[in-house]
Structures are given as C-alpha cells and as structure tokens.
Copies of this chain bind each other. A is one copy, B any other.
Amino acid sequence: MALADATKEIKRADLLQMYYYLRLTRALEDRVTALYRQGRIVGGCYTSHGMEAIAVGYASALERDDVIAPFHRDMGAFLIRGFTPGEVLAQYLGKRTGPTKGKDGNVHMGDLKRGVLGFVSHLADNLPVATGAALAFKIRGESRVAFAGTGDGGTSRGDFHEAMNFAAVRKLPVVFFCNNNQYAYSTPQRLQMAVSDVVERAKAYDMPGEIVDGNDVAAVYLASKRAIAQARAGKGPAFLEFKTMRMHGHSEHDPAKYVPRELLEEWKKKDPILKAEQLLTQLGYGDEASFHEIGERAKKEVEAGLEFAEQSPLPEGQEALEGVFATEDEVES
C-alpha cells in the first residue's frame, strides 16, 4: 500500500513524537473535561477527542517559522508549538499565566512569537487573516507558509470563500484545511452543503485539493507535507479535507443525541491513537509497554501543568482595562 510505504519515509523519532503528542492532547483534554464536569471550568469547553491526529499531523509537518491559524479542535497544534499543558489549563481556569492572561477562555489562544494566530470564535474569520500572513511572506520573499483551517460548518461562511479566492488569485503560500467531522454543532453535513466532499469547494478556486484520512496521523502528516512543499515552492495554495468524526458533543454540555450511535461505534474503531499504535507496531517502532509508558508520561505532564495552573494567580479586576491598544514599543516603528 502506497501509504504504508510512505510512512516508512517518516523518521522513527518523528512518528514517535507525534504519538506522544496524540497522547498528550488526549490526556490534557480528558483532564479539561473532568474539570468541566466538576464545575471547575466555566464557559465553553471544546475538545478534539477522536480528532487529535489532524492537529498533531499538520503541526508536525510545518517548520518553526511557519504560521498556523488553528481551528477550535486543534489542541495538538498548540502543544507542538510549545504551549504547555500548564499554560493551557491556566487559560481554561482564567488565570493570569494563561496565554491571554484571563482576557479570553478555552481554545481562544494565540502567540505571535510561537507563530500561532489566536482563534476567533467567528468561524472562518481567521482564514483571510492567515491568507494575509502568507501575503506578507510572499511580499518579503520569505520561504514561509501559513496553515489555516476551519470545520465543515465554517466552510459555509463568506470569509472562507473570500480567503480561498484571494489566496488562489495571488498564488499565496497558504494551506487551507477542513476538519470534516460530519457535524457542525447539531447540523449534519447534508444541511451544510450540497457537495458530498468538502474538497469539491476547492474547485471554485482552481486549487488542488486532497481528501485525507483525518484519523491517521501519518496520512495527515504526509498530505500536509506535500501541500506545504507546494505552497513553499511558490505554486500557490492547496486545500486538504481531513475526514473524521466528532466523538463528543459540540461542547461538553451537549449530549449530541442527534448523532446516530452506530456512527460513533463505527468511528470508535478508527480512533487516531489506536491507529497510530497499529502503525507503530507494524513498523516495529513500539509496543504495548512503550505506548503505556508514553501515555503515563503525558498524564504526568498534564498533572504537573494542572498544579501550575491551580497555583497561578487570577488576574486582578482592574487588569480588565489593560491592553485595548498596543503601545509604540511593542512593534518596531
């Protein structure tokens, strides 16, 4: 099989690292979910459970200098970019040590120094923004790439269209992806779009598109590598559709009764961690024992992070007034 062959090209260390990030993502989000159920997290709580391979795969395929505009189920990308579990948990708990200092919650994080554009709730809003980052790279002649995504639902927004179109016209170095988990909140794909594959949408921009098994971290990684290489080579944007399934409710409060149980059963078998373990085993890169060890390491990191987050201070009320405007010294002028 072509894919199986190709995965041999991925370095052992890289694959193992991706596996580690799959486990770290899972452990961290399981912890978040538990905290939410204990009432210790207020506000929204969106996880990537069962979809971790997407963010882990694409973020692993990028270079340090590249910029990402993650989607709201891309925790793995934050982790790979260096956001620690402690920072993430501090963010969830509204602590001053979170990336937004308590100004915003949950996955609404970003950090220019780590090349992560902060998520904006308004879905697809960050696609034109990432396109603009790619425009900057092109204007300056840099060999950097932007990588930006949205969900199946988000592809219905006008900003998706305007970003895709602009990027295609100017052949900008940006890779767009859609995290197609078959539902947008409760809305099934058939009420969201008339095409059966989101990738069809790329045809309107003469943009190359590819359908990828979103639960296979190696497939995501390799497809991302190809698209990134094309964009970096100046051949213009590309579109990737990562097929997957949302295994929880939209947010923790949603029991997702509108999803047929069989669908979940079916996809449970395709769990990205399971899939990665099968691959690693097949390639002789790991076994039960080493998987267990990595899982434990991830959990420990999360627990250490939680301790950090819990011990971190909340912001003081009047900090609400800070930061509306940037000051001269923050940007070179």
Chain A residues within CB distance 8 Å of chain B: 156-162, 165, 168-169, 190-196, 200-207
Q: Do the beta carbons of B204 and A201 come within 8 Å of each other? A: yes
Distance in Å from the Cβ of A200 to the closest Cβ of chain B?
6
Contacts of A202 in B (CB 8 A): 204
Distance between Cα atoms of A159 and B169 in the complex (Å): 19
Q: A156-B165, A158-B162, A161-B158 are in contact. Are A200 and B206 (CB under 8 A)?
A: yes
Q: For the complex formed by this chain, how many copies does it contain in all? A: 2
Query: Given A158-B162, A169-B193, list of 7 further CB < 8 A pairs?
Result: A156-B162, A156-B165, A157-B161, A158-B160, A195-B204, A203-B203, A203-B204
Distance between Cα atoms of A5 and B55 in the complex (Å): 57
**A194's contact among B160, B168, B195, by CB below 8 Å, is which?**
B168
Distance in Å from the Cβ of A245 to the closest Cβ of chain B?
21
Distance in Å from the Cβ of A9 to the closest Cβ of chain B?
31
Distance between Cα atoms of A70 and B291 in the complex (Å): 63
Contacts of A205 in B (CB 8 A): 193-195
Contacts of A196 in B (CB 8 A): 206
